[in-house]
Amino acid sequence: MNYKYLAFCTSCGFPTELTKHVLHHYFSNQTVNIFYCHQCQTENKIPDYLKKIAKELK
Protein backbone atom coordinates (compact mmCIF):
# COMPACT_ATOMS: atom_id res chain seq x y z
CA MET A 1 0.00 0.00 0.00
CA ASN A 2 1.34 3.42 -0.93
CA TYR A 3 0.47 6.12 1.60
CA LYS A 4 0.73 9.87 1.11
CA TYR A 5 1.55 12.14 4.01
CA LEU A 6 0.56 15.80 4.19
CA ALA A 7 1.56 18.61 6.51
CA PHE A 8 -0.70 21.64 6.63
CA CYS A 9 0.52 25.18 7.24
CA THR A 10 -0.77 26.58 10.52
CA SER A 11 -0.98 30.05 8.96
CA CYS A 12 -2.60 29.64 5.52
CA GLY A 13 -3.62 25.95 5.55
CA PHE A 14 -1.65 25.09 2.41
CA PRO A 15 -0.91 21.34 2.23
CA THR A 16 2.61 20.11 1.62
CA GLU A 17 3.06 16.52 0.48
CA LEU A 18 5.82 14.82 2.44
CA THR A 19 7.84 12.13 0.74
CA LYS A 20 9.22 9.16 2.66
CA HIS A 21 12.69 10.61 2.08
CA VAL A 22 11.77 13.90 3.78
CA LEU A 23 10.01 12.11 6.64
CA HIS A 24 12.88 9.69 7.19
CA HIS A 25 15.80 12.11 6.88
CA TYR A 26 14.38 15.37 8.22
CA PHE A 27 11.17 14.94 10.20
CA SER A 28 12.58 12.06 12.25
CA ASN A 29 15.73 14.08 13.02
CA GLN A 30 15.56 15.51 16.56
CA THR A 31 17.43 18.68 15.54
CA VAL A 32 14.86 19.57 12.85
CA ASN A 33 11.85 21.17 14.52
CA ILE A 34 10.25 23.30 11.79
CA PHE A 35 9.26 23.14 8.14
CA TYR A 36 8.48 26.05 5.85
CA CYS A 37 5.23 26.56 3.96
CA HIS A 38 5.78 26.71 0.20
CA GLN A 39 2.85 29.13 -0.17
CA CYS A 40 3.37 31.79 2.53
CA GLN A 41 6.92 30.97 3.77
CA THR A 42 5.73 30.67 7.38
CA GLU A 43 7.67 28.52 9.84
CA ASN A 44 5.62 25.59 11.14
CA LYS A 45 6.53 23.46 14.16
CA ILE A 46 6.75 19.75 13.39
CA PRO A 47 4.31 18.08 15.79
CA ASP A 48 5.60 15.31 18.05
CA TYR A 49 3.09 12.80 16.62
CA LEU A 50 4.48 13.42 13.10
CA LYS A 51 8.04 12.91 14.35
CA LYS A 52 6.91 9.60 15.86
CA ILE A 53 5.34 8.48 12.57
CA ALA A 54 8.49 9.49 10.69
CA LYS A 55 10.66 7.40 13.02
CA GLU A 56 8.46 4.34 12.50
CA LEU A 57 8.75 4.45 8.69
CA LYS A 58 11.30 2.22 7.03
Q: Please, are residues 17 and 9 in contact by the beta-carbon 8 Å criterion? A: no
Element (H, E) at 46: none
Residue 23, sorted as left (phi over 0), alpha (psi -120 to 50) or beta, turns out to be alpha
Mean pLDDT of 18-24: 88
Q: Mind listing the pLDDT tens digit for each residue in 1-20?
A: 677 889 999 999 999 998 88
Report field, pTM of the whole predicted structure over 0.85: no
How distant, in Å, are the alpha carbons of 4, 7, 51 from that of 1?
Answer: 10, 20, 21
Q: What is the pLDDT of residue 1?
A: 64
Question: In this structure, what is the dihedral angle of CA atoms 41, 39, 57, 25, given to the nearest 10 degrees?
Answer: -40
Q: What is the mean pLDDT of the chain?
A: 90
